[in-house]
Amino acid sequence: QKEVEQDPGPLSVPEGAIVSLNCTYSNSAFQYFMWYRQYSRKGPELLMYTYSSGNKEDGRFTAQVDKSSKYISLFIRDSQPSDSATYLCAMKYSGNTPLVFGKGTRLSVIA
Amino acid sequence: NAGVTQTPKFQVLKTGQSMTLQCAQDMNHNSMYWYRQDPGMGLRLIYYSASEGTTDKGEVPNGYNVSRLNKREFSLRLESAAPSQTSVYFCASVRGANTEAFFGQGTRLTVV
């Protein structure tokens, strides 16, 4: 079983829809949880960074972490065509350790 | 502010050729990483350097070597390229233990 599981999609939604992206993980030692956005032919860019269970909101984006279920989510409200990208979940252990990524979900928002 | 700079951006190699991918960061970050990204596989860690002078293997190190030349630079070398190493390679840097990673724009490598 891979450490981090993410449905690769693709996911296609109409403009204005609420998008839900999810990842599950197997190791309860993960402490930090991130969502990266990657546009075509570009490097990943950090979108959201959370520590511990709970919600974090930034504009139209909400990141949710449920450590008891080993499940993280990213919600995008009022989705826009400019949100079309690949979304990668990432997590890490405490300390100077590397990020472990999910496979990424390709999202298309259709105008 | 350049951030993380990778060179070259594109490269085509013949099987058996060698090459070095260069990565430099100007953010005074301690840790640097090399990932490869293949369709349907996500980002997989090749090697990382937690600090200047140290390197460690990641998930897929076979066929690669790395050098942490100084705090700014972390290079990835393919000694004898194989078609299975056709991929997009990303370098990333991290300031401290529990902070975000910043990525370069990637190197698209094709081995024929």
For residue B63, what are the CA distances in angstroms to A13, A98, B78, B84?
A: 41, 20, 6, 10
Q: How many CA atoms lie within 13 A of B102 on its CB side?
A: 19
Residue of chain B with shortest Cα separation from A31: B98
Are A43 and B58 inside 8 Å of each other by CB? no
| Closest residue, chain B, to A94 (C-alpha) | B98
- Rounded CA gap, A37 and B95, in Å? 20
pLDDT at A21: 97
Cβ of A103 within 8 Å of Cβ of B40? The answer is: yes
Q: How confident is the model at residue B107 (pLDDT cuts 50, 70, 90)?
A: very high
Query: What local confidence, expressed as pLDDT, does residue B24 receive?
Result: 97
Say which residues have a Cβ less than 8 Å from residue A81's Cβ, sequence separation at least 6.
A15, A109, A110, A111
Residues of B near A (Cβ–Cβ under 8 Å) read: 4, 30-31, 33, 35, 40-45, 48, 50-51, 58, 90, 92, 96-98, 100-106
Each residue's pLDDT tens digit, B32-87: 999 999 988 889 999 999 988 899 999 999 999 999 989 999 999 999 999 999 99
Chain A residue with minimum CA distance to B93: A98
Task: Quote the pLDDT of residue A47.
Answer: 95
Position B1 confidence tier, pLDDT thresholds 50, 70, 90:
low
The answer to whether A43 contacts B105, with C-beta atoms less than 8 Å apart, is yes
CA distance A102 to A3: 8
Q: Distance from A18 to chain B by nearest Cα, in Å?
A: 24
Q: Which residues contact A58 (CB under 8 A, 6 or more apart)?
A: A48
DSSP at A29: T
With CA atoms as reference, report the closest residue to B59 among A96, A5, A98, A103: A98
pLDDT at residue A1, as a whole number: 61
The more confidently predicted of residues B41 and A104 is A104
Contact between B43 and A88 using a beta-carbon 8 Å cutoff = yes
Chain A nearest CA to B101, separation (Å) = 8
Q: Are A47 and A87 in contact (CB under 8 A)?
A: yes
* Segment B12-39, tens digit of pLDDT: 999 999 999 999 999 999 999 999 999 8
Q: What is the pLDDT of residues A47-103, one digit of tens each?
A: 999 887 889 999 999 999 999 999 999 999 999 999 999 999 999 988 888 899 999
